[in-house]
Chains A and B, each alone.
Chain A
Amino acid sequence: MLSRIFFIGVISFLILPIVIIVVMSFSADQYYVIDDLSFSLDWYKEFAADPKWINSMWNSLILGSMSMALSLIIGIPASLWIHDNNKYQNILIGFVLLPVIIPPLISAVSWYFALSFIGWNNNLFNMIISHFLLGVPFVVICTLTALEKCKTEIEQMALICGANKYEVFTRIQLPIIFPGILAGALLAFMTSFDELIVSLFLSSYETRTVPLEMWSGLRENISPVILVVTTITTIFSLITMIVVTSANDRYGGNSNT
């Protein structure tokens, strides 16, 4: 009985803050008052009317899709290679995982220093590259988990029946690993979409993203519009979560990420 109460307590501790944010974003009150339950869409209207938020939302979406595309273009062939060359698998996975394991502040400071040394001033380019590096491990890990499901016998059979390597990939491997790729792509997108610390160092006025606007909003003038933005990003996270967990169930994998 005691363990059940403890468990329910932990679960509520985990989920209640998110529920509170979503509920409060529909509140009419000017201030953060938890016990106010009046329903209104005022803050959503204010969000949609504010060019600051709309701009940053566009910036984040563009940045997220571009770094996601780059992660896919570079990550998928790399994971296919790692899958074929089992010998180096462990060391390569460890190496590729580095950007996820190293705290983002360390990466951000390193990029800031290195960029001031090289002298590249194109903020959009720099941010795409940095977000790509933070997102590509997810693509590699998810694709690899999916590829493990893809039995080599099927590939060999297709090769014997006269398929070339390209056909084996598009007609055998791709359909099997597609949910894994989708999960990796969404994770890469969300990594960029939620990324704050690196953007804090590398962005300029033109490349302000949603987390940056939230950050300055939280430090300067706290407005309930931030709750609306949080709700919207949480919905993105929810979609990502559903895709990733269903892909994971499908492959029966127990990936660490």
Chain B
Amino acid sequence: MRILPLIIAMLFGFVFPIGYMMSYSVTTTKLQQSLPATIENPSYESLAYDLSQDYSRSASLYINSYLPGTRSMVIKARNDIGNATQPYKDWFISKDERWEDPKLWNLIKEHGDGFTLDNLKKAMSGVYLQVLFNTLSLGALITIVTLLIAYPTSMYLTSIKNKWLFGLSIFCVLLPFFTSYLSRLVAWIVILPEFNLIHNTAGIFIGSVYILLPLCILPLYTVMKNIDYSTVNAAKICGANKLQTFVYSYLPQTKLGVINSVLITFITVIGFYTTPALLGGGSGKFVTEQIVYHIEISLNWGLASALTATLTAITFILFLIYTRVNYVK
């Protein structure tokens, strides 16, 4: 089984982290934060200890959301915890009989890592929905413009007969393709200020189209290179004009290339972080910028993982379409 190391590496190094990140977006650590000792060791002694600490302030609210009517019970016990006497079990029960309720202790046991949809709901509403919409619409626009430039370019590329001219052209397409994003962005950071186009949407737009063009041209070129010209010529002989020949004969044959180019380009552009961050001047138009903001500055990891999970889901659906188009015949 020579493939086993790779599979293990992929499972532990890739599938597990993404799964963990997705699960992080639907777990809450609120009870963990307010009653850590009790979750570690469910007993009246640790409960008394937790309630005497400052961090247990939100415990009442959280328990109340699962066991309605218990808020005052927790608050009363917490306010009076200074007078608590050994054994703690009797003291708690003398305060309120509901402390003995197995439902409460089950809650503590099960909700150490509680399930919540709050983060996902937040990520799919209000300002974050707007950001998601912005990302997808700007991404779609960039993809369409890139395709409209890439299609005629790769068409022309297949028609070049001169060997040296072709070599030069393909070199100009491939060199940016192999150069890193960051190096290519450095170029635009130098050039764009000359035209006053940096730190706005136009900057993001030009930079993205530049980065995506080779990525869009290559799948199209691969398909166009192998086109069957006999049907194109047949259409011409039968009296079709240039437009008709293109629409009814050439274009349908390049359908696979177009779909591949569009999917790859779109998946790449919605995951862009460096381009908007460097050329857009931190305008926060992309989901990716919001994710980094919530991880590094606002420290709201739950929301960050929910935003990442949304982006992952979109990417994954598009990737499934890609594999379906390419590998399932």
The interface residues of chain B lying within 8 Å CB-to-CB of A32 are 190, 193
Give the contact stretch, choosing among B54-62, B101-109, B167-175.
Answer: B167-175
* Given A77-B2, A101-B267, A136-B6: A15 and B274 interface contact (C-beta under 8 Å): no
0/1 string, A238-249, CB within 8 A of B gives 1: 101100110000
Say yes or no: B21 contacts A110, CB within 8 Å.
Answer: yes
Q: Which of the 9-residue segments B11-19, B36-44, B66-74 touches chain A?
A: B11-19
Shortest distance from the beta carbon of A12 to any chain B beta carbon, whole Å: 8
> Number of contacting residues on B, CB 8 A?
77
Contact residues in A for B250 (Cβ distance below 8 Å): none
B291 engages A109 (CB within 8 Å): yes
- Chain B residue with Cβ nearest A7: B156
| Residue of A with least CB distance to B188 | A17
Which listed residue, A13, A211, A256, touches B182 by the CB 8 Å rule? A211
With A14-B173, A233-B180 known as contacts, the answer to whether A117 contacts B312 (CB < 8 A) is no
Is A95 part of the binding interface, using a Cβ–Cβ cutoff of 8 Å?
yes
- Contacting A81 at CB < 8 Å: which of B3, B172, B322? B3
Residues of B within 8 A of A51 (CB): none
In the complex, the answer to whether A94 meets B323 with C-beta atoms within 8 Å is yes
Closest to B187 in A: A17
Please name all residues of chain B whose beta carbon is closer than 8 Å to the beta carbon of A92 when the two chains form the complex.
3
How far is B270's CA from A104's CA once the two chains are assembled, in angstroms? 11
Contacts of B292 in A (CB 8 A): 105
A48 CB–B CB distance under 8 Å? no
For the complex, is A56 an interface residue (Cβ under 8 Å from B)? no
CA distance A10 to B216 in the complex (A): 13
29 cross-chain CB contacts under 8 A: A6-B152, A14-B173, A15-B175, A20-B187, A21-B186, A21-B187, A32-B190, A32-B193, A74-B9, A77-B3, A78-B3, A91-B327, A94-B319, A94-B327, A101-B267, A103-B315, A106-B271, A110-B308, A113-B24, A133-B13, A140-B6, A194-B183, A218-B185, A227-B186, A233-B180, A234-B179, A240-B178, A254-B222, A256-B260
CB of A99 within 8 A of CB of B14, answer yes
Contact, CB under 8 Å: B24 / A34: no
- Cα A250 to Cα B290 in complex, Å, equals 45
User: Which residue of chain A lies nearest to B206 when distances are taken between CB atoms in the complex?
Assistant: A13
Q: Which residue of B lies closest to A93 (CB)?
A: B327
Separation of A113 and B176 alpha carbons in the complex (Å): 33
Given contacts A98-B14, A133-B9, A113 and B305 within 8 Å (CB-CB): yes
Q: Assess the B1–A81 pair: CB atoms within 8 A.
A: yes
- Per the 8 Å Cβ criterion, residues 20-35 of B in contact with A are 20-21, 24
Q: How far is the CB of A71 from chain B (nearest CB, A)?
A: 10
Question: Complex Cα distance A76/B311, Å?
Answer: 32
| Interface hits, B206-238 → A, CB 8 Å | 210, 213-214, 218-219, 222, 225
Shortest 7 CB-CB distances between A and B: which pairs? A103-B271, A194-B180, A17-B187, A77-B2, A114-B17, A110-B17, A78-B6
Docked Cα-Cα span, A233 to B278, in Å, equals: 19
* Complex CA distance for A222 and B153, rounded to whole angstroms: 35
Cα–Cα, bound, A18→B174 (Å)? 12
> Is B5 engaged at the interface, CB distance under 8 Å to the other chain?
yes
Interface presence of A112 (CB below 8 A): yes
Interface residues of A (CB under 8 A from B): 3-4, 6-7, 10-11, 13-15, 17-18, 20-21, 24, 32, 34, 74-75, 77-78, 80-82, 90-96, 98-99, 101-107, 109-114, 117, 129-130, 132-133, 136, 140, 190, 193-194, 196-197, 201, 211, 214-215, 218-219, 222, 226-227, 230, 233-234, 237-238, 240-241, 244-245, 254, 256
Chain A residues with CB under 8 Å of B180's CB are 190, 193-194, 196, 211, 233, 237
B189 within 8 A of A: yes
Given contacts A7-B153, A132-B9, contact A214 B2 (CB under 8 A): no
What is the CA–CA distance of A101 and B270 in the complex, to the nearest angstrom? 12
Residues of A within 8 A of B7 (CB): 78
Bound together, the chains give a CA A3 to CA B291 distance in angstroms of 42
A34-B194, A103-B315, A256-B260 known, 5 other contacts, Cβ within 8 Å: A7-B157, A13-B210, A109-B304, A222-B189, A237-B175
* CB closest chain-B residue, reference A73: B5
Q: Identify the closest chain A residue to B176 (Cβ).
A: A14
The yes or no answer to B295 lying at the interface (CB within 8 A) is yes
B201 within 8 A of A: no
Q: Write out the residue numbers on chain A whose beta carbons fall within 8 Å of the beta carbon of B293.
A: none
- A90 contact set on B, CB distance < 8 A: 323, 327-328
A245 to B183, CA, bound (A): 21
Complex-state Cα separation, A78 to B194, whole angstroms: 50
Q: Is the CB of A95 within 8 A of B10?
A: yes
Q: Give Cα A75–Cα B323 distance, bound, in whole angstroms.
A: 21
Cβ contact within 8 Å between A117 and B175? no
Return chain A residues, CB-CB under 8 Å to B21. 106, 109-110, 113-114
